[in-house]
Copies of this chain bind each other. A is one copy, B any other.
Amino acid sequence: MRNIKLIIEYDGTAYAGWQVQPNGVTVQETLERSLAQMLGGPVRLHSSGRTDAGVHAMGMVAAFKTEKNLPLRAFSDGLNSLLPRDIAVRGAEEMPATFHPRFDAVGKHYRYTIFTGRYRSPLQRLYAWHCRRSLDVAAMRRAAGHFVGEKDFAAFRGAGCAAKTTVRRVEAVDIAAAGEFLQLDVRGNGFLKQMVRMMVGTLVEVGTGRLAPDDVRRFFETPVPAAKGVTAPSHGLCLVEVYY
């Protein structure tokens, strides 16, 4: 059996997230349908993880097994000709039979984009969260330092998160300001459900002055505090890369 790894970019606007589910079309089922069409039978894609409805990806990783003797190009250019315009394969690679996109991942890089303009922006509406209030970036950077390290992120898991442990290692939270945009780059060894969006929501609370930078420390205390700040909307988030 061949084990084929795909690197996938998608605009999540029209999808109910990555994973197959009863309500709404998902990215996974759209890819599986195109693969089945190409391979002449059902295919199961295993991914590096899920993304919520509306979240985008530049580097989602998924893999599938097949006996078919098609060239790798079939799984990039060929698949791209079957996929809708908001999903594309950026690369296909032959992997050892033991490779698994989720179990073998050692880290992920997410990017969150905030637009701080006075008026809402039609050209940014699908890819950036519009925060009208002015944000204290220096305070956000100080607060971001509290996320870095191996910590218990129990306060930063969304409802329905099924992870067995809530301990994760965040390597870096970098905040770049350019004109009316803030770009938050978050890297770590793994993330709980909605963890990045809850981190960003908390940092924006700090940016507006509703929380002090050191208040973030409280969220890592036991017992986990009830007030968790806001969850940033999904459309500002993009999975940039999965590391192996």
Q: Count residues on chain A whose CB falls below 8 Å from chain B CBs.
A: 25
Question: Is A121 at the interface (CB under 8 A from chain B)?
Answer: yes
Q: How far is the CB of A113 from chain B (nearest CB, A)?
A: 11
Residue among A86, A119, A121 facing the most chain B CB atoms (10 A cut-off): A119
| Contact (Cβ within 8 A) B9 A88 | no
Q: Please tell me which stretch of A36-44, A122-130, A207-215, A226-234 contacts chain B, meaning at least 4 of its Cβ atoms lie within 8 angstroms of it.
A: A122-130
Whole-angstrom CA separation of A11 from B123 in the bound complex: 5
- Interface pair A80/B119, CB less than 8 Å apart: yes
Chain B residue numbers with a CB within 8 Å of A85 are 120, 122, 125
Q: Which of A61-113 contact B (CB under 8 A)?
A: 76-77, 80, 85-91
Q: How far is the CA of A235 from the CA of B129 in the complex (A)?
A: 23
Residues from chain B with Cβ under 8 Å of A120 in the complex: 80, 85, 88
Query: Which of A13-55 touch B at CB < 8 Å?
Result: none
Indicate whether A58 reaches chain B with its CB closer than 8 angstroms. yes
Copy number in this complex? 2
* Nearest CB of chain B from residue A86's CB, rounded to whole Å: 5
CB-CB nearest in chain B for A117: B90
Which residues does chain B contribute within 8 Å of A77, judged by CB atoms?
Answer: 119
* Max chain B Cβ within 10 angstroms of own Cβ: one of A10, A80, A88, A122: A122
CB neighbours of A11 from chain B (8 A): 122-123, 125
What is the minimal beta-carbon distance from A28 to any residue of chain B, in angstroms?
Answer: 15
Partner of A119, one of B56, B90, B117: B90
10 A-B pairs with the lowest CB-CB distances in the bound complex, closest first: A11-B122, A86-B122, A90-B119, A88-B122, A9-B122, A10-B122, A88-B120, A85-B125, A11-B123, A88-B119
A positions within 8 Å CB-CB of B: 9-11, 56, 58, 76-77, 80, 85-91, 117-123, 125, 127, 238
Name 28 A/B residue pairs within 8 A (Cβ), A-sorted. Answer: A9-B119, A9-B121, A9-B122, A9-B123, A10-B122, A10-B123, A11-B123, A56-B123, A58-B123, A76-B119, A77-B119, A80-B119, A80-B120, A85-B120, A85-B122, A85-B125, A86-B122, A86-B125, A87-B122, A88-B119, A88-B121, A89-B119, A90-B117, A90-B118, A90-B119, A91-B119, A123-B127, A123-B238
